[in-house]
Amino acid sequence: MLEGAKSIGAGAATIASAGAAVGIGNVLSSSIHSVARNPSLAKQSFGYAILGFALTEAIASFAPMMASLISFVFRSQKGRKTK
């Protein structure tokens, strides 16, 4: 039962990768729209876009880390001796 719950939890944690892909698409779309509306602020807008990409990728790298923790670190207490 615990192994099944761990698999479901790890799978749910990796769904964040799809959310990160959507977030990157939104950042790029907003960047293109802002440059199209006001080309004189392209450099400032590019800096904000890079910040948005970095924050979105941080979430994307956090998801596999949590999936690994769920899968390998949280082990069942079955078979372990306690003092």
Domains of the chain: 1-81 (1.20.20.10)
Cα dist. 46→2, 14, 54 in Å? 46, 29, 12
Task: Round to the nearest angstrom and report the end-to-end CA distance of the chain.
Answer: 25
Question: In which region does residue 41 sit, left (phi positive, over 0), alpha (psi from -120 to 50) or beta (all else)?
Answer: alpha
For residue 29, the model assigns a pLDDT of 93
For residue 40, the model assigns a pLDDT of 94
Which parts of the chain sit beneath pLDDT 70?
Answer: 75-83
For residue 18, the model assigns a pLDDT of 84
For residue 77, the model assigns a pLDDT of 62
Whole-structure pTM over 0.85, yes or no?
A: no
Residue 1 DSSP SS3: coil
For residue 36, the model assigns a pLDDT of 94
How many CB atoms lie under 10 A from the CB of residue 76?
A: 10
Question: Which one-letter amino acid corresponds to residue 12?
Answer: A
